[in-house]
Structure 1
């Protein structure tokens, strides 16, 4: 199928499909007119990419996971690469959450101190 058809079937803009291809997440063949031709299973691949992006995975991790996530069900086969990648991404997410919690506490303390200062000034 051509890129326009894949875009219509998946609801993903053609520009984004080209980006997925550029990042190594999606593949196409070129026909004699140099148009991209996608395989019949491309809509399923795009759906998997979108699912993983929605989970917060970066494209590098998705590229590693896609070969193990080609089934019709959600998730992926528990091959070693999947488990390693998911563990690394969970660690990254936990570190991000910890940093956000620290920022939240610092902002809350700053606001509390500001409110206390305003109350004393009245």
Structure 2
């Protein structure tokens, strides 16, 4: 009886080993194909991102050129004169604000503040 029980166990082991060998032999080529498909997909994504990057770099160049054009001094002066009706100030309109040395604490003294305020408000009353 001992021999009859060992034969099914032996057959089961042989079948399991055969399945293991067959799956190992078949999985090698499948892994190679999967790896190649993954590489192709990654390559396509890289190409798409590269194209997007070049488009964005062109847009950056265009925006920089537009910014330089819009911030030109002559354009701003033209808009100030024509649209906003601004002009350079006359000598009577110029107010020179005196500079006071601020103490180490970072605040101006009360005396400096009162002198600055009186100079500012005295200039207002002249008009």
Q: TM-score per shorter chain, which class?
A: 0.3 to 0.5
State the TM-score, normalizing by the size of structure 1. 0.36
- Larger helix proportion of the pair: 2
Structure whose CA Rg is larger: 2
State the TM-score, normalizing by the size of structure 2. 0.35
